[in-house]
Structure 1
Amino acid sequence: MVYTVRCVSCGFELYRGPEPKTVEAVAKIWGGYCPKCLSPIERRPIKIAAKLLTRPR
């Protein structure tokens, strides 16, 4: 399973990895701002989604 955290404003992938991280922890990594659009990273999740990805055979 892969977890991702994206910027709400521009969709930039702030975190991608095998372990879940809180939005607050990811915001701390980037200094509280998206490196692409410089928008403040929202401290609480706006949208949570889950997708089941299948591997090609």
Structure 2
Amino acid sequence: MADIGILNGEVIFYQRIEAYELVNAYNNGNLKGTLKNIAARLNEESNPIIMLVKEKL
């Protein structure tokens, strides 16, 4: 579930992701970049992650 809208002039939208979803995506090789680095430190019982998406300038 994503909440869309310019939050503070910088963040375009954010999305809450359950840890088990990130762990599964990481194990299947579906992640890259910062999200991959974060998922590498998680286990399925970790707290949910809030992903902030910013406009690339």
Q: Structure 2 length normalisation: TM-score?
A: 0.26
Larger RCO, structures 1/2 (Cα 8 Å, 6+ apart): 2
- Which of the pair is proportionally richer in helix? 2
Q: Structure 1 length normalisation: TM-score?
A: 0.26
